[in-house]
Chains A and B, each alone.
Chain A
Amino acid sequence: MRPEPGGCCCRRTVRANGCVANGEVRNGYVRSTAAAAAAAAGQIHHVTQNGGLYKRPFNEAFEETPMLVAVLTYVGYGVLTLFGYLRDFLRYWRIEKCHHATEREEQKDFVSLYQDFENFYTRNLYMRIRDNWNRPICSVPGARVDIMERQSHDYNWSFKYTGNIIKGVINMGSYNYLGFARNTGSCQEAAAKVLEEYGAGVCSTRQEIGNLDKHEELEELVARFLGVEAAMAYGMGFATNSMNIPALVGKGCLILSDELNHASLVLGARLSGATIRIFKHNNMQSLEKLLKDAIVYGQPRTRRPWKKILILVEGIYSMEGSIVRLPEVIALKKKYKAYLYLDEAHSIGALGPTGRGVVEYFGLDPEDVDVMMGTFTKSFGASGGYIGGKKELIDYLRTHSHSAVYATSLSPPVVEQIITSMKCIMGQDGTSLGKECVQQLAENTRYFRRRLKEMGFIIYGNEDSPVVPLMLYMPAKIGAFGREMLKRNIGVVVVGFPATPIIESRARFCLSAAHTKEILDTALKEIDEVGDLLQLKYSRHRLVPLLDRPFDETTYEETED
């Protein structure tokens, strides 16, 4: 069966196992012959192909939580909660010393600023393992980083700096996908020159007098990089979402947002005043049902058609490591005439043969995505965000975006860093450094994920995503993993509730092109050791694809502010 480029989902095709696709976007799985050998080794690869929309295998898996582990995790949280109540009781009756700050004497009769229950989790669970987060560093956040040592004598309520610096810690936590976080080299020199000439700040907004020639240069370059007509750059990635989605949609519009979207997308959607409905994570049947319902039933009470339907998805979801099913989303969008907003915060520069992001990774046309948004923080070693799209869209945003009118424009040395690093990735600076970095990242990703899976850990996400979540599940292991790895000179990021579901806490590794094979091997050795020590190797090699779960009713949330 020959794959057609950008195949229409409405065409009837006969698939390898003889089933006929009846014109709807449907996902099944095909056990391809190549994976049969792997199946013999006890692993099952699920390759989803839908009428030729995918040109390469899409290997994404989320292994199910083992039953015993789930039960023990709940027990663990139960014990912690009981102890939490006990400690609160002791603190209330002053048997135990109260460390945290309290309200002023003069304001004791005001309504209390925080509800006691809101902070229960913070006081009793987060405080115990607080030393795993906010670790201060004092060097470039490259492949190796220097961490300032902290000590606490009162169980993490307060920290003192010993003055020691833990040098050369392997950095598996910073978002440095292409290794541009450097303090030497052409990017840094260019930024230094611009800093000398322009200064650090701008002191005005884009619409008033803060529109510098550097900004226009940057926007032209970004548009060329992405392959779109025009682009606009903003000072903060979070603010790009929260200030532009309200400019694009308003009341009477519908937003279909993925379950696991980032806080900035959720905030932007809420601020816009549109109706929000949520579809299950990366689940195309769920999305299609919502689209059908939206078109058939229209707005809730008046049954009028929606003014606009906007689908909000991300390129790579940073907590799951999954990649959006972009060919299917675009097929759906074309079929139902909706608009697509793609947030490529983690995928720009990290996916695709030349680092152009998830659109290039799937071999699609950038013009199919209506609004391409991304940030410069992760792959370009700078800060800020951008939106790219058609010229009319960008012209509209230049006058109607909240950021252009009320917020300061990008700082000039940061702009120069973005320009230099982007030119390097595009190969325009005359070296092949950019291409090498992109290839190195892809190799590192495949190698690291393969080795971890072989060791027996449960790893979520797509095989090609440089974000690697390793499941920990139990609350005590969150703290233990972070601390043990730091003892072995490796800095990792551990995440628990509320960023993840309560029993699915994880450690998240962010790979970088700056990681050499030796660094990865050292890290893998230590992870192996710690995995044995903490009994983290839960995997039973039964990979269940996300789509095999029976699809029941979707959850949608209508917000009427």
Chain B
Amino acid sequence: MATATEQWVLVEMVQALYEAPAYHLILEGILILWIIRLLFSKTYKLQERSDLTVKPPSHKIVVNGKECINFASFNFLGLLDNPRVKAAALASLKKYGVGTCGPRGFYGTFDVHLDLEDRLAKFMKTEEAIIYSYGFATIASAIPAYSKRGDIVFVDRAACFAIQKGLQASRSDIKLFKHNDMADLERLLKEQEIEDQKNPRKARVTRRFIVVEGLYMNTGTICPLPELVKLKYKYKARIFLEESLSFGVLGEHGRGVTEHYGINIDDIDLISANMENALASIGGFCCGRSFVIDHQRLSGQGYCFSASLPPLLAAAAIEALNIMEENPGIFAVLKEKCGQIHKALQGISGLKVVGESLSPAFHLQLEESTGSREQDVRLLQEIVDQCMNRSIALTQARYLEKEEKCLPPPSIRVVVTVEQTEEELERAASTIKEVAQAVLL
């Protein structure tokens, strides 16, 4: 029962409400609505689910229920559903089972692993090779094994995420140089040289490394290796070359960018590659001189503290190597197809091709960005979805936006494989042209 005083307070309040100026009431109203909105909004937005592939990711692939031609998996030499590779893996499965049940040091070394290491070393014409059970872990474990706190690493801006993680784990000084810009790298090296002369004692124990990729995953360009080797000897820095995209693609026999340029492989201190692209298996390897590679057997974290590669995947890789050695003609075929689609995709209104003509994995970026990254991503996703409706499977290049050091602009990734026929390449090019025109204009 409201007493007299309470009733009086209520009346006062209602009177105040009437007497308050309009702007005050409106402001209070807006604030209350804002608070309600904040209370009920989610603090994070979740991205939509990724595409679901139902059948194996080979040449023809079923994505989200639509059958398409695969222009998105890194199956450059078409070895993913090669019957010989499958037969070799099957034989290994029947002999060893699936898992290795241990790291390399504790009864996890199989004769298949030793065989694969041997074959890779012979193929790349180096002294020794070492295998890792996961492609990402290869370069991410190799860099911290050599480069420690206090050492200096010169790395390209467009280096892939695995290299960035390896550098972060190594705690060394990182110096970024502009993508493929040898003048910028030389400037940084000269600055370092001046620093060294000020403090020669420290310089005598500071190791220097240059980390580059053969074919860059983020830009599809090739690194200028001959100039790098010259800089190496001039400024006494060691080169670590990451050849995930160029192994099995460049060069007359598929040996990578060193063969492409005709450089002596001993000039590169460490070559690291993953077997998940051209070799269509899982895992990675590093090769080089024994002096360099043997160290990783005790200090490569991903090697010592992790279970070894399942033998069926190692056997698949060996058979894939056999196929690569037996018909070296496929590399020329791949190069030709890359050139063809590169030419066909030039001149699309609204999209520009980023990458060299001999790179089988290149990007299509928007010629003019709309200003916001989210909007760009949505536009490109629209293009990808429509291409999928017309049975061309594409994908957007995915990045972790907050974690990358130098985030590349949003793009569509196009991958060329030897299995695609010329008609399919032409059809893909014309489909992309049509869709881009429809969406962007």
- Bound pair (A, B): yes
A518: Cβ under 8 A from any B Cβ: no
Chain B residues, CB < 8 A from A104: 266, 289, 291
| Interface-located stretch among B11-19, B79-87, B253-261 | B79-87
In the complex, the answer to whether B99 meets A382 with C-beta atoms within 8 Å is yes
Q: Give the contacts of A167-205 with B (CB-CB under 8 A).
A: 171, 173-176, 180-183, 187-188, 191-192, 195-205
In the complex, the answer to whether B61 meets A209 with C-beta atoms within 8 Å is yes
Q: Give the contacts of A470-487 with B (CB-CB under 8 A).
A: none
- A115 vs B204: C-alpha distance when bound (angstroms): 11
| Interface-located stretch among B160-168, B326-334, B340-348, B362-370 | B160-168
A111: Cβ under 8 A from any B Cβ: yes
- A408 vs B281: C-alpha distance when bound (angstroms): 10
In the complex, the answer to whether A207 meets B50 with C-beta atoms within 8 Å is yes
Closest partner residue, chain A, to B63 (CB atom): A209
A407 to chain B minimum Cβ distance, whole angstroms, is 4
Q: Give the contacts of A208-222 with B (CB-CB under 8 A).
A: 208-213, 216
| Interface-located stretch among B24-32, B69-77, B183-191, B430-438 | B69-77
B89: Cβ under 8 A from any A Cβ: yes
Q: 1/0 contact trace for A366-383 toward B, CB 8 Å?
A: 000000000111101111
Chain B residues, CB < 8 A from A264: 301, 305-306
Chain B residues, CB < 8 A from A429: none
B126 to chain A minimum Cβ distance, whole angstroms, is 12
In the complex, the answer to whether A200 meets B110 with C-beta atoms within 8 Å is no
In the complex, the answer to whether A195 meets B93 with C-beta atoms within 8 Å is yes
A139: Cβ under 8 A from any B Cβ: yes
| Interface-located stretch among A293-301, A409-417, A534-542 | A409-417
Closest partner residue, chain A, to B152 (CB atom): A111
In the complex, the answer to whether B98 meets A413 with C-beta atoms within 8 Å is yes
Chain B residues, CB < 8 A from A243: 136, 165
B56: Cβ under 8 A from any A Cβ: yes
Q: Knowing A140-B96, A208-B395, A209-B51 are in contact, say whether A402-B295 is a contact too (CB < 8 A).
A: no
In the complex, the answer to whether A136 meets B109 with C-beta atoms within 8 Å is yes
Q: Give the contacts of A16-57 with B (CB-CB under 8 A).
A: none
Chain B residues, CB < 8 A from A183: 93-97
In the complex, the answer to whether A203 meets B276 with C-beta atoms within 8 Å is yes
- A179 vs B33: C-alpha distance when bound (angstroms): 62
Which of B89, B162, B171 sits near A195, CB closer than 8 Å? B89
Chain A residues, CB < 8 A from B297: 134
Q: Give the contacts of B393-419 with A (CB-CB under 8 A).
A: 393, 395-400, 403, 413
- A349 vs B26: C-alpha distance when bound (angstroms): 63
B79 to chain A minimum Cβ distance, whole angstroms, is 8
- A378 vs B108: C-alpha distance when bound (angstroms): 12
Chain A residues, CB < 8 A from B316: 200-201
| Interface-located stretch among B205-213, B220-228, B350-358, B374-382 | B205-213
Which of B57, B108, B160 sits near A212, CB closer than 8 Å? B57
A113: Cβ under 8 A from any B Cβ: yes
Q: How many residues of A contact B (CB 8 A)?
A: 101
Which of B57, B97, B281, B312 sits near A209, CB closer than 8 Å? B57
Q: Knowing A136-B109, A239-B134 are in contact, say whether A195-B312 is a contact too (CB < 8 A).
A: yes
Chain B residues, CB < 8 A from A135: 107, 109
Chain B residues, CB < 8 A from A147: 107
B263: Cβ under 8 A from any A Cβ: no
In the complex, the answer to whether A213 meets B52 with C-beta atoms within 8 Å is yes
Closest partner residue, chain B, to A187 (CB atom): B98
In the complex, the answer to whether A102 meets B94 with C-beta atoms within 8 Å is no
The 10 closest A-B pairs by CB, nearest first: A236-B134, A101-B291, A238-B306, A200-B316, A407-B136, A198-B56, A174-B101, A417-B98, A203-B73, A377-B307
Beyond the given pairs A137-B110, A175-B101, 11 more chain A to chain B contacts, judged by CB atoms under 8 angstroms and listed by A's residue number, are A103-B291, A126-B298, A137-B107, A141-B108, A200-B80, A204-B57, A270-B169, A380-B99, A398-B50, A493-B106, A493-B107
Q: Interface on A for B, CB 8 Å cutoff?
A: 101-104, 106-107, 109-115, 122, 126, 133-141, 145, 147-148, 171, 173-176, 180-183, 187-188, 191-192, 195-213, 216, 235-239, 242-243, 246, 262-264, 267, 270-271, 375-378, 380-383, 395-396, 398-400, 402-403, 405-408, 411-414, 417, 491, 493, 561
